[in-house]
Amino acid sequence: MRILITAGPTREPIDPVRFLSNRSTGKMGFAIAAAAVARGHDVHLISGPVALAPPEGLARFTAVTTAAEMLDAVRAGLAEAEVLVMCAAVADYRPATVSARKLKKGEGPMALHLERTADILSEVAPMKGDRVFVGFAAETERVIEEASRKRRDKGLDLILANDVSSADAGFAADTNRVTLMEAGREPEPWPLASKAEVAARLVVRIERIASCLGK
């Protein structure tokens, strides 16, 4: 299959030297890309800024920085893909204005006015058709409830929920503990495993769903 995968964080600039971002390292998304390549799939990986080398065997690698750039890349890549795996931790907000010069510190506090970034899954929802859409829900509370809501609201075939407040399953960890949620099925907790093992198991599940759709 042709699989489009997003990974890593986005960075939303404040000025030439500062930005808003998050703690994502891209490890989970890169592991999924490597697992999909190992299973013989044609993989296009889109990644925000990370300190990882792209897995060998990718059909294409696209580096982006901001949420807007990732949205553009997903739109373009999805036209040729049968599966979308949104593993990136896309920033929800960005500064409403970006200073062309470094902001200087003053005596008092400084306020930033933030605006929402585009919701990539919502933006590309009209392109879904019979494609398989997979998402991730990184939460710190009400993990299953929030993931279930996200899966329904975004029309996902699968979502993997994980509690990122856990030291062994959060950002930068080499292991992950997820609960897989699929339409019409009970939540399926997966035991703690390496991100490579989680990725391999996920790719097999995606293959099963795709085969049911005649991919």
* Catalytic residue set: 22
> Is-contact 47 36, C-beta < 8 A?
no
Decide: helix, strand or coil at residue 21. Answer: coil
Partners of 114 in the β-ladder = 95
Structure tokens belonging to residue 176: 């992950």
Place of tokens 């593993």: 87
| 70 phi/psi in degrees, rounded to 5 | -65, -40
Q: Which helix (H) or strand (E) holds 75?
A: helix 67-78
d(CA 1, CA 20) in angstroms, rounded, equals: 35
Query: What are the residues whose beta carbons fall under 8 Å from the beta carbon of 104, sequence distance 6 or more?
Result: none
Structure-token pair, residue 136:
């991730």
CB-based burial, 128-154: b 16+ in 10 Å, e otherwise: beebbbbbbbbbeeebeebbbebbeeb
